[in-house]
Amino acid sequence: MACIEARGLRKTFGTTVAVDGINLKVEEGRILGLIGPNGAGKTTALNAILGLTPYEGELRVLGRDPWSSREELMTDACFISDVAVLPRWIRVSQTLDYVAGVHPRFDRAKAEGFLAKTNIKKTNRVKELSKGMVAQLHLALVMAIDAKLLVLDEPTLGLDILYRKQFYDSLLNDYFDGSRTIVVTTHQVEEIQDVLTDLMFIDRGRIVLNCSMEDFEIRYAEVLANPDKLEAARALRPIHERQVFARSIFMFEGADRQQLSALGEVRTPSIADLFVAVIGGQTTAGGSR
């Protein structure tokens, strides 16, 4: 059964088309990375999935219409956006009280167990916590909810590398169990390459790439070409060429790796390099929308 399924999903703001008739299907138990430049439609698509904005087209999330059945959907879905949304005056213990009061599937003991692994005290106010600690608090609250879908919109934005690694380690080790579904948007794509099961690129409101990570590793290859093999590499019609320390690196889609190995060193590209190759110079990555 699909956790998320959309056909012709479209959202406009006046004359601006934010999501342009996209089709997508996310199966249960997958971790999808939704990657796109600033203004690509990522957050708008997530808002539609969460029932936060009306839309045109067909959309089902956990078998429900998210706009008309948002209250029911929220019993099975959780969301983490920028960590600044927590009131700065609130104490950690009060956040536990609040979530326990509003969510029927919140396990307070589990949340306290997660927080016990951190330096966060229940008497702390949010304003006394670093941004990384607030992210830990957010994650502890969410991981203690027995939800089927978790949506993360730039969840580690502004955090240092240590907190970012701890965030994704906790997500995989303490939350993801193979049956839950996670959708994450981020610009720090290198850090989630080994986390994802599926990859989707969105640009100007349209899906421009959609594949599993297994397909990604089979379909795409990079070659650090030997200097005398440049023309031979170009003859194979790479989808992208870039220069690194005066060496040419070519990216290919669907090419024979044995044939590529005659040109130089062959490797699987990073998500970031594939993103640049697919999106190209049409847009530049920035904040999320």
pTM strictly above 0.75? yes
Q: Tell me: the pLDDT tens digits for 28-68?
A: 999 999 999 988 999 999 999 999 999 999 999 999 999 99
For 192, the token pair is 């989630």
User: Do 277 and 197 share a structural domain?
Assistant: no
Domain of 62 in residue numbering reads as 2-210
Separation between Cα atoms, residue 36 and residue 133, nearest integer Å: 27
The domain that contains 55 carries what CATH number? 3.40.50.300
Q: Per-residue pLDDT averaged across 170-190, rounded?
A: 90
CA distances from 168 to 36, 117, 219, 234 (A): 20, 15, 26, 39
| 210, 234, 257 - which closes a domain | 210
Place 84 in a pLDDT band, splitting at 50, 70 and 90: low
Query: Is residue 288 in a domain?
Result: no
For 102, the token pair is 């509003």
**Residues in the chain, total:** 289
Residue 289 clears pLDDT 50, i.e. is over it: no
| 210, 235, 250 - which closes a domain | 210
Query: Is residue 289 in a domain?
Result: no
Phi and psi at 71, nearest 5°, equal: -60, -45
Lowest mean pLDDT among 74-83, 101-110, 163-172: 74-83
3-state helix, strand, coil in the chain (%, to 5): 35, 30, 35
| 210, 226, 258 - which closes a domain | 210
Place 1 in a pLDDT band, splitting at 50, 70 and 90: confident
User: Do 162 and 233 share a structural domain?
Assistant: no
User: Do 226 and 149 share a structural domain?
Assistant: no
Q: Per-residue pLDDT averaged across 143-159, rounded?
A: 90
Residue 284 clears pLDDT 60, i.e. is over it: no
User: Do 129 and 157 share a structural domain?
Assistant: yes
Indicate the number of domains in the chain.
2
User: 106 or 157: which carries more pLDDT confidence?
Assistant: 106
Separation between Cα atoms, residue 221 and residue 240, nearest integer Å: 11
CA distances from 51 to 55, 61, 192, 236, 282 (A): 9, 9, 26, 46, 30
Q: Per-residue pLDDT averaged across 224-246, rounded?
A: 95
Place 82 in a pLDDT band, splitting at 50, 70 and 90: low
